[in-house]
Amino acid sequence: MRFGFLLGCCALFWSISTATSIQGIQDLVKRRVPDQYEEFVFTLDANSNSSEVANDTYTISTLNGSIAIQGTSLSALATGLRRYFTDVAHSDIYWFIGNHLDQVASPLPRPTEVITGESIVPWRYHFNTVTFSYTSPFWNWSDWELELDWLALHGVNLPLAWVGFEKILLDVFRDINLTDSEILPFFSGPAFQAWNRFGNIQGSWGGELPLSWIDGQFDLQKKIITRMLELGMTPILPAFTGFVPRAISDVYPNASIVNGSRWEDFPLQYTNTTFLEPADPLFADLQNRVISKQIEYYGDITSFYTLDQYNENDPYSGDLDYLRNATRGTWQSLKAADADAVWVMQGWLFYSNSDFWTNERIEAFLSGVEEDADMLILDLFSESQPQWQRTNSYYGKPWVWCELHNYGGNMGLYGQVDNVTGNPVAALANSSSMVGMGLTPEGQEGNEIMYKLLLDQAWSAEPIDTETYFRQWTRNRYASSQHTEDELPGQLYRAWELLRKSAYNNTNLTSNAVPKAIFEPAPNITGLVGRTGHHPTTINYNPNDIVEAWRNLYAAATEEDASLWANDAFQHDFVDVTRQVFANAFLAEYETFIALWNSSSSSTTVSDSTTTTALQTHATRLTTTLSTLDTLLSTLPQFSLQTWVDSAATSTIEEYYISNALNQITLWGPDGEILDYASKSWGGLVRAYYLPRWQAFLGYVLGVGPQAYEASVARARVKEVEDAFQESGGSALGSDGDEKGVREVVQSVVLPVLRELGVL
């Protein structure tokens, strides 16, 4: 079956590979190593234009004094380039802190032996549809350039390309005589477009999506796609799903439409989206228009199309024939528009709505695509909730083993190092239709090592030795080419080994995603501790291990190598680990506070003066923890709310964009429908949003200032943050720590509080 799927992609690969050149890879080197790019020689293998799709290979060697990288594809060349930097030059490129490839010695070190690599799957995939809302809705071209270079260097050759799709829909709907006043109210704001594209929501609270935004994103998409192709990637473009503006029934009164289910208790004006049935001839017409419009704008660049119709929305009927016919109609519309079309679909629905999706219904649904090679399924949460096993490898459909890892861009330290190394290798041996490995995080926040690990595993036939991997990560992240492995402080290696064995090695899959700090959900006297599912707060390791890792990091910078305080990678990791130490300390302090309050003589008033004093002491520690954490987080832009807001404030109507951005990370909906789902431990947000909520809650519990603290208070806090930002010209979201460095804040502010909390 794997071979059958690969043959189905031959025509696509033939058209792309014949047009490839190494210029895109050379340009990447010029961008990232501008002073040394002439030291590299790249060669595409003579058979790289073969119509047969196969696993990629590369070799790295020294040739006539140059660093020679040879590969079977542009993706292989880019992967070989990164392998040279990580294994020979001991450097890398990173999220949040950017490019370190140019920090190596000049001239570059030459390989002392031939290094080879071979992928174990032909496809390496990246992006979840919702990543475009949780992470990149306000990205500019500079942000995308770093992202695309990161993807190329990590071997990704099959990325989603969602940006600017509203332009395609706008033009298509205009072509069938819908007016802008009927179309624009259908679209959602930038931070919520993913769920509009999924058909979960429609419209935008707080304002209408401007035409200027649609045009700007379309221009950005053209740059993104061009760069993807230059770097040897095959973009996955959106297809027509069937979700349409409600006014479609006025223009086409005989169209077969049904309304989707109400999603997450949103007001009806924002949900129950209108769905055009795939059996209706208008569906095929719109599908052809959408795909033809993209070919017109971008060129005939791909035959992969992402299309999800029932994401967290059950189909109109569970009848097996209905499900089969819905899929067949959609598949036929794709093939009519592009004879080589491959339908890419997230398998998330089979897990998230498993009460509806019985195996019988899944099989009927998938059988509507009568050629297995015409579909590619993303097993979205393979490391925790794999669906390929219960569906018999999706009944023969090709599929990709994916690491989800993260809900909503939450920031807790977390990983499953054993699962993401051993399980995909085992799956490949047991499923003939597995054709790829990839990343599907809801948001790209922290924990970058877990994502690198999975993509590197795609090039290793045996499970990666994670102890060795983490050690190399440590050396490459903190050292320059002048350092040998032993010249780095040993505490750095000990810190990351502690992290590898604890936070990054969860095996308790009842809590199977990145945990959030309990100060981020709305405060309560119950229900905050030990959560699992979409709002996990469970800590699956001994918190003392994180404290010990922190001690080692601090000792490395204080006792061994003071220059680490100026190292941007060390600063990032130290703040991130400190953030987790504070989150865990807050949890312990909260549990002590609640236990003491529950043991008092009354659950509504506290009469014993000793108990009252103790409760007030713990309450003060809780609020001090938050204010101190805020000061630390504000020292780096990647941990600051200001960065998120500034990225949104890019036009004359910035108030709409800022409100949209703030709503996502707080209320998530007009009235807090998914309150705190996408919460972030960001400087400015902790001080302006979480801290006042906890002050209101603690006052309520202690009886010194009763006040509600649920969604109504959250709404008020979001409005106050918005107003403060507008009135101050953008300066109100920072904190007193903005102009202080990490070292100064740690030594003058953080250490005393950690000692007071008994952490140190």
For domain 123-465, say whether CATH 3.20.20.80 is its number: yes
Q: Of the ranges 349-353, 596-600, 701-705, 720-724, which is most confident?
A: 349-353
pLDDT for res 41: 97
Cα of first residue to Cα of last residue in the chain, in angstroms, is: 57
**Residue 457 corresponds to which tokens in the numbers above?**
């595993």
Whole-prediction pTM: 0.94
pLDDT digits (tens, 9 = 90+) for 712-721: 555 566 666 6
The amino acid occupying position 287 is: Q
Helix (H, G, I), strand (E, B) or coil at 378: strand
Query: Which tokens sit at 413?
Result: 């330290």
Amino acid identity of 717? R
Tens-digit pLDDT profile for residues 162-212? 999 999 999 999 999 999 999 999 999 999 999 999 999 999 998 999 999
Give 708's pLDDT tier (boundaries 50, 70, 90).
Answer: very low
Q: pLDDT confidence of 535, banded at 50, 70, 90? A: confident
Instruction: For residue range 325-353, list pLDDT tens digits in order.
Output: 999 999 999 999 999 999 999 999 999 99
Q: What are the pLDDT digits (tens) for 93-126?
A: 999 999 999 999 889 999 999 999 999 999 999 9
> Please, which residues bridge with residue 98 across strands?
94
pLDDT of residue 402: 98
Each residue's pLDDT tens digit, 254-264: 999 998 889 99
Confidence tier at 611 by pLDDT (50, 70, 90): confident
Instruction: Give me the phi and psi of 160, to 5 degrees please.
Output: -70, 150
Alpha helices in 111-183 (DSSP H): 131-134, 141-153, 165-175, 180-183
Residue 198 near residue 129 (C-beta atoms within 8 A) = yes
Domain boundaries, the chain: 2-118, 123-465, 567-756
Q: Is the pLDDT of residue 300 over 60?
A: yes
Please give the average per-residue pLDDT across 664-688, as a whole number. 95
For residue range 395-426, list pLDDT tens digits in order.
Answer: 999 999 999 999 999 999 999 999 999 999 99
The DSSP call for residue 70 is E
Q: What percent of the chain has pLDDT over 70?
A: 90
- Distances in Å between the Cα of 87 and the Cα atoms of 93, 451, 469, 541 are 13, 18, 11, 31
- The gap from C-alpha 279 to its chain's centroid, in whole angstroms, comes to 34
Q: How many CB atoms lie within 10 A of CB 485?
A: 12
611 φ/ψ angles, rounded to the nearest 5 degrees: -65, -40
Residues 6+ apart with CB under 8 A from 437: 120, 121, 123, 124, 125, 400, 401, 402, 424, 454, 455, 457, 458
The strand pairing partners of 434, in sequence order, are 399
pLDDT of amino acid 729 = 46
What is the reported pLDDT for 714? 58
CATH of 567-756, one of 3.30.360.10, 1.20.120.670, 1.10.3720.10, 1.10.1760.20: 1.20.120.670
Pairing of strands 115-118, 158-159: unpaired
The letter for the amino acid at 646 is D
What would the two tokens of residue 759 be? 């952490």
| pLDDT score recorded for residue 13 | 42
pLDDT at 217: 97
- The answer to whether 628 touches 602, Cβ cutoff 8 Å, is no
CB 160 within 8 A of CB 129: yes
pLDDT at 541: 96
Instruction: Give the CATH number of domain 2-118; options: 3.50.50.60, 3.20.20.220, 3.30.379.10, 3.60.70.12.
Output: 3.30.379.10
Please report the pLDDT score of residue 435 as a whole number: 98
| Mean of pLDDT values over 147-156 | 98
